[in-house]
Each structure stands twice: as C-alpha cells, then as structure tokens.
C-alpha cells in the first residue's frame, strides 16, 4: 500500500469514506453494551423500581450499574481503533464483491517489471482502473447484531417509550430518586393507634372509640360501664409498643403480623 496517494481523486475519497464506515461498524457494537446499560437504568427509574428495593440492594445495584457502565465504555475505547487505508480498501472491495481486488492492485503494483512486461502491465492497470471506478460505497451493515445478539434493544426501546409516555413529566424526579437509596426500614412508616372500649355484653352498648392525643394525656375522663375491656391496636411504626396505664403499670402489645 505504498502508492495510496497515486489513486485518482474519486477512488481515494471512496477509500476514505469506506474507512469511516468501517469505524462506525466497529464503534456501534463496541458502545452498544454501554447504551443498553443506560437504557436499563432509565427503565428501572421511570417505572419506580428503585423505591421497591431495600436500601442495601438499591445501593448494590447502583454500584453494579456504575461499574458495568465504566467497564463497557472503557472496553469500547481501549479496543477501538481507526481502520487503516488497507482495511478501508478491503471493505470497499468486499462490499462490492469485486473480483481480483482492483483497488489493491492499483496501490500495490509489482516491485519490478522487465521491459517486455511493462506494456502488458499498463494495459492491465487501465482495465483495473475501470473496474475500480465502478465500485460504490455501501452503508454500514449489522450494526447491532454483534453488540446485542439477544436483541434486548427492542424490549428496552419499547419500555422506554412506554415509560416516557406515562411518566415523562416526572423523569427528572424519578431519575434523581435512583441516586437516593432509602435505608430506613420498610415498616418504619408513621404508626397509627386505634383504641376503643368494649362494654360488657349485658349493657348491649356499642363499642366506644377513643381518640389518640399526640401531645400526651389531656386529662379527659371517658365514663365506661364496669367490666369494660380496653382494646388498643398499633399499625405500622417500628420497634416495640407498650401501653402505660394510669397506675404506672406497663402492658406489652401482642404482635399479630408484620404491620400490627
């Protein structure tokens, strides 16, 4: 390839463009894993998946996404190089199914020719130049197959379109939530207290609801029949619950399930 500069202008331009197209054919599959990683992150964010995860798993997945993205980008950058002129020529000839490699022949003639062969070689070059001028540029092929053999791009594209259509106005907030793991206990929601007095059966009275006073005991007296039962239920919250009676005694609650 020591006579590349001697190519006619039109063929030289095609070789240059062929090199650029070959670089695109290499770059897209190389960077596609990184693009799929970003797309998957946006899908999880748009559909609010992060909020359903405990804080430790949220943080672990966030680190995994960051590490995967850095690895994919670094691998693509380190493994990608711009094609040489010889590679551009081979692509131009291959995509045209050119026989006898006409452009290669033009740039790589024999090192030495005897006088009797010069005339034959000159005629051969003229015919080769005609074939080389007929070569046409072909667009990039199979850009995504090598980088995404499982065709995950289609599923992610559909989910992204659906996510942006449904939550487009909340995109920034939902993506911001992805970087804010919640390490509080899922059950640590504000607790609610429900209390009521169940009169004895002989009174035929309905249950008497009691209102909780967040500020503490306010000294109100609620008259109830003798033999009534006090029922208290705490829903949500965290830790253990206990009731302090007027006489100073403390009664513990019985846990019915994870939330009560």
Confidence of residue 63 (pLDDT cuts 50, 70, 90): very high
The confidence score (pLDDT) of residue 125 equals: 75
Question: What is the average pLDDT across 175-185?
Answer: 82
- Which among 104, 39, 93 has a CA at the least distance from the CA of 69? 39
Question: What is the average pLDDT across 128-141?
Answer: 83
Between vectors from CA 114 to CA 111 and to CA 116, what angle results, nearest 5°? 140
Confidence of residue 107 (pLDDT cuts 50, 70, 90): confident
Name which residue leads in pLDDT, 168 or 35: 35
- Check pLDDT > 60 for residue 188: no
Q: Rounded to two decimals, what is the model's pTM?
A: 0.61
CB 222 within 8 A of CB 208: yes
DSSP codes joined into one string, the chain: -TTGGGS-HHHHHHHHHHHHHHHHHHHHHHHHHHHHHHHHHHHHHHTTTGGGS-HHHHHHHHHHHHHHHHHHHHHHHHH--PPPHHHHHHHHHHHTT-TT-HHHHHHS--S---HHHHHHHHHHHHHHHHHHHT--------TTTTT-TT-HHHHHHHHHHHHHHHHGGGHHHHHHHHT----S-TT-SPPEEEEEEE--GGGTPPPEEE---TT----------TT-EEEEEEES-SS--EEE-TTS-EEEPPP-SS--
CA distance 173 to 44: 13
Residues in Cβ contact with 111 at an 8 Å cutoff, skipping those fewer than 6 apart: none
CA distance 43 to 161: 9
Confidence of residue 206 (pLDDT cuts 50, 70, 90): confident
The confidence score (pLDDT) of residue 189 equals: 56
């Amino acid at each position: 390839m020591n006579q590349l500069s001697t190519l006619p202008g039109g063929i030289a331009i095609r070789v240059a463009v062929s090199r650029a197209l070959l670089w695109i054919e290499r770059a897209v599959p190389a960077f596609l894993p990184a693009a799929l990683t970003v797309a998957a992150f946006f899908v999880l964010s748009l559909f609010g998946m992060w909020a359903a995860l405990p804080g430790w798993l949220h943080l672990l997945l966030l680190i995994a996404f960051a590490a995967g993205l850095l690895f994919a980008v670094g691998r693509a950058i380190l493994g990608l190089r711009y094609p040489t002129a010889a590679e551009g020529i081979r692509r131009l000839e291959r995509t045209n199914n050119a026989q006898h490699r006409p452009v290669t022949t033009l740039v790589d003639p024999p090192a030495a020719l005897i006088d009797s062969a010069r005339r034959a070689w000159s005629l051969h070059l003229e015919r080769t130049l005609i074939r080389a001028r007929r070569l046409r540029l072909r667009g990039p092929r199979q850009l995504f197959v090598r980088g995404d053999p499982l065709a995950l791009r289609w599923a992610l594209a559909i989910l992204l379109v659906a996510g942006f259509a449904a939550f487009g106005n909340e995109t920034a907030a939902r993506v911001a939530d992805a970087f804010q793991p919640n390490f509080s206990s899922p059950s640590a929601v504000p607790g609610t207290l429900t209390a009521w007095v169940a009169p004895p059966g002989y009174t035929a009275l309905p249950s008497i609801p009691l209102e909780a006073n967040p500020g503490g005991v306010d000294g109100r007296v609620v008259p109830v029949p003798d033999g009534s039962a006090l029922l208290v239920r705490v829903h949500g919250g965290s830790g253990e619950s206990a009731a302090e009676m007027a006489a100073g005694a403390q009664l513990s609650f019985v846990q019915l399930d994870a939330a009560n």
